[in-house]
Amino acid sequence: MNEETFFKARIYGLDKEQFGIFKSILLDVIVIPLELYCGIISLFWQTSLHIVDKLNFDVNNEILVSCVFVVVIGLYGYVKELPFKVYGTFVLEEKHGFNKQTPGFFVWDQIKGLLVSNILTVLLSAAVVFIVQWGGEYFFIYLWAFAGIISLVLLTIYPIFIAPLFDKYTPLEEGDLRTAIEKLAASLKFPLTKLYVVEGSKRSSHSNAYFYGLWNSKRIVLFDTLLLNKGKKDNTEVKEEDEGKGCTNDEVVAVLGHELGHWKLGHVTKNIVIMQVNLLLLFFVFNYCFKYAPFYEALGFAPGVRPILVGLFIVLTYVMAPYNAILSFALTILSRRFEYQADEFAQKLGYADLLQKALIKLNLDNLGFPVHDWLYSSWNHSHPTLLQRMNRLKKLEAKDKKSQ
């Protein structure tokens, strides 16, 4: 990492942190307490009742009112976040050369995002209210079963039907890279059915790779920004600022060796199990807390008015806040452990040197600052730092050489 890149990465890191601190102070310290003090949630509920009444529907139908409520409060939340999205995209990311979105692309992207999120939110909210009303004393068990099924369904359909609405996915063309990936997948008995490249460069120059799918139908997705020169064989098609960026074919395969390590070691399954156990606990607490009247009165609701969705919001956001903080830290520790294990898996496949080269390239391309305070990193970073991962890989290589 030369001095110029080190300086750029440092400034980029500082800018992101300062922006995050400013946003947290403005929203978490000032705006949200004001919203609670002014009873904005109860105000939105009253607005929803008024809308339902104006449309000549039954205001006593909580499912219908709840559907309007989630749209109203969702639009408010979107408007509240929009200035930060615009600044983050067109000022912060633009300043450091990462933003690739045009204003028109951004607006169309936001419209599609609003439509999709509102449709999903309305359908899920209606189902939640119905299950709570219908389920009786043990509704939380039915709610948990529903949430578990829906989460698995969304994990399956989101990449197939929803993600392509926002980005272009094309099959990876025949060639050395495709052959190498298919060979790696076959050697690990990974049930690879599709191999895609997503045109992430229209949105950002940040890079990534992932796999998805349940059971025996897995698909791998590579960001075009991960590939050397975006995977284009003709360098004349590559912009000057993108030339030389990305990983070679061998380095991409090494990165996928790490990603497939997560699958082979059962990390995806373990995370799903943890998520389901956590959901059961959250719904169990919700079952015993959501009828507590002072919660609603504190938010400005009249005595006796206890909307189910508002109760769910109170329990998940405030009652469970200490638990959520502890759980988040525990999951961060677990995620870091999983990353080390996936690195070790790739190392055992013989990709230690290539994986280190790929990690360095990705760090440089994404202007990742390499030096972090260990305590801050332990709390905030779901992945070990670049230097920690490289040090771990070198120790594993030295251990193997010593044993030989």
Give the per-residue pLDDT at 239. Answer: 67
- Which phi and psi (to 5°) does residue 306 adopt? -135, 80
User: Which tokens sit at 40?
Assistant: 């904005």
- What is the 3-state composition of the chain as percent helix, strand, coil, each rounded to the nearest 5? 75, 5, 20
Residue 339 marked in a binding site: yes
Q: Which residue in the list 93, 242, 251, 343 is annotated as catalytic?
A: 343
Q: Residue 210 has what pLDDT?
A: 80
CATH number of 169-269+333-402: 3.30.2010.10
Q: Are 389 and 359 in contact (CB under 8 A)?
A: yes
Confidence (pLDDT) at 166 = 84
From 94, 109, 199, 259, the catalytic residue: 259
- Relative orientation angle of helices 267-289 and 139-157, to the nearest 10 degrees: 140
* Contacts of residue 240, Cβ cutoff 8 Å, sequence gap at least 6: none
Tell me if residue 28 is catalytic. Answer: no
DSSP state of 200: G
Q: Which residue has 């790490």 as its token pair?
A: 258
- pLDDT at position 187 is 92
| pLDDT value, residue 44 | 95
CA-CA distances (angstroms) from residue 128 to 138, 141, 152, 394, 403? 14, 12, 17, 50, 57
**Which of 352-357's residues contact partners 24+ apart within 8 Å by CB, and which partners?**
352/393, 352/394, 352/396, 352/397, 354/250, 354/251, 354/253, 354/254, 355/251, 355/254, 355/255, 355/257, 355/258, 355/393, 356/390, 356/393, 356/394, 357/247, 357/251, 357/254
Residue 204: per-residue pLDDT: 73
User: Binding residue per annotation — 262?
Assistant: yes
249-264 and 352-365 are packed helices; what angle lies between their axes, rounded to 10 degrees? Answer: 110
Whose structure tokens read 């300086």?
Answer: 7
pLDDT of residue 193: 83
259 included as an active-site residue = yes
Q: Which of 217, 296, 209 is nearest to 257 (CA)?
A: 209
- How many CB atoms are closer than 10 A to CB 304? 8
Is 372 annotated in a binding site? The answer is no
pTM of the model: 0.87
Give the residue extent of every domain in the chain: 3-166, 169-269+333-402
> What is the distance of C-alpha 251 from the center of its chain?
24
Point out the residues of the chain with pLDDT beneath 70: 214-217, 229-244
